[in-house]
Amino acid sequence: MIQSKLPNVGATIFTTMSQLAAQTGALNLSQGFPDFNGPQALLDAVGRHVCAGHNQYAPSTGLPALREQVAGKIARSYGVTVDAEHEVTITPGATEAIFCAIQAIVRTDDEVIIFDPAYDSYAPSVQLAGGHCVHVQLNASDFRIDWQKLADALTSRTRLIVLNSPHNPSGALITRDDLDQLAGLIEGRDIYLLSDEVYEHLIYDGVTHASVLAHEALYERAFVVSSFGKTYHVTGWKTGYVVAPPALSAELRKVHQYVNFCGVTPLQHALADFMAEHPQHVEQLPTFYQAKRDLFCGLLQRSRFTFTRTAGTYFQLVDYSQIRPDLNDVDMALWLTREHGVATIPISVFYQQPIPEQRLVRLCFAKREETLRQAAEKLCAI
């Protein structure tokens, strides 16, 4: 009989809820993907490069032109210079980047701090590396880091801390002051960082993203991960990247070359072209998605759900305490899908130890206006 290396892992909640949405015909506001296409110029570029014969292996680290565009975007966004050749690695999706970074740095019996609620790929990656997860709960009210809890969790075996900002599932943001506090806490310790920043350009109300890339003391010990799929509305392309100092990039690349070797070549060519020709795209994203957030939240004002408008990502948490307080969030998500035609994601699945009294589900508003209006109508009718 096979002894599983991941005995507690089954199909993800994202798979489960998307399948249920398809089976029931519900509007899928669960899994985080747009129901609209990426920019036409980007789509056209793919066909152009496929027909031009750019269909063989790309360099393992990524096409030089795309790595240069990433470095240029970082310079424009954060005012810092990274070496495209030695610090930028293109990967088949941000999840692969996260996996490779963890495998590269975590050793047997190392401890890795994960803030709950947490994206579901972190813990299995640590487990497969032979490490141990130490779960530190974010504040239940605002999903900010509790610095005393973090300080108490640090030990001589702490090897890695995983950050996520803008935060999935809550949309909460880490500030520059937070990064300064973290830097002081780990100064002089042999602790590395993995900063998941895939929603870096989806921040609202005029707030600026506080990236680890722009924090010199933290970047020198960090892997910073981002996603073309989130930024360019093409999640199915599964193309991302990781930026890290040369020594850390070298270790990550050792793992990456044996996990997937390289990303999809014509997609990399297309992204490089689009980024060169349309650098303004990332600057327009906050306005684009804030309009969707504000439309959706405005429509939900007349519902019995309560919420605070999300600060980042394309997810909105809503509290259903006034509707079905008798249901836990998993049962509530199933009930909403089957009985009211809107698929959501329960928040408890992002915790090692769920908060029993929490009554939150996550809604994705990366949807066409028509979809958001239909979903809001169904939710307001409850």
**Domain 13-31+281-380, CATH number (from 3.30.2310.20, 3.90.1150.10, 3.30.70.270, 3.30.70.20):** 3.90.1150.10
Residue spans per domain, the chain: 13-31+281-380, 40-277
Q: Which two tokens stand for residue 102?
A: 């963890």
Query: Is 292 within 8 Å of 365 (Cβ atoms)?
Result: yes
For 255, the enclosing helix (H) or strand (E) is helix 246-259
Q: How many CB atoms lie within 10 A of CB 53?
A: 9
**Residue 256: which of 47, 38, 76, 90 has the closest Cα?**
90
Looking at residue 382, its pLDDT comes to 96
Looking at residue 2, its pLDDT comes to 86
Instruction: List pLDDT tens digits, range 9-31.
Output: 877 888 888 898 999 999 999 98
Alpha-carbon gap, residue 123 to 99, rounded angstroms: 10
Looking at residue 16, its pLDDT comes to 87
Query: Is 41 within 8 Å of 278 (Cβ atoms)?
Result: yes
For 192, the enclosing helix (H) or strand (E) is strand 192-196
Mean pLDDT per 10-residue segment, the chain (382 residues)? 86 86 93 94 97 96 98 98 98 97 98 96 96 97 97 98 98 98 97 98 98 98 98 96 98 97 97 98 97 98 98 98 96 96 96 95 98 98 96
Q: How many CB atoms lie within 10 A of CB 305?
A: 23
Half-sphere exposure of 71 (CA within 13 A, CB side): 18
For the CA atoms of 89, 94, 95, 98, the dihedral, rounded to the nearest 10 degrees, stands at 50
Looking at residue 209, its pLDDT comes to 98
Q: Which CATH architecture has domain 40-277?
A: 3-Layer(aba) Sandwich (3.40)
pTM to 2 decimal places? 0.96
Query: Is 101 within 8 Å of 225 (Cβ atoms)?
Result: yes
Looking at residue 354, its pLDDT comes to 94
Looking at residue 226, its pLDDT comes to 98
Q: Give the angle subtended at the CA of 201 by the CAs of 200 and 203, to the nearest 5°.
A: 90
Looking at residue 1, its pLDDT comes to 83
Q: How many CB atoms lie within 10 A of CB 227?
A: 25
**Residue 168: which of 222, 104, 220, 98 has the closest Cα?**
98
> Coil, strand, or helix at residue 345?
strand
What's the DSSP call for residue 54?
-
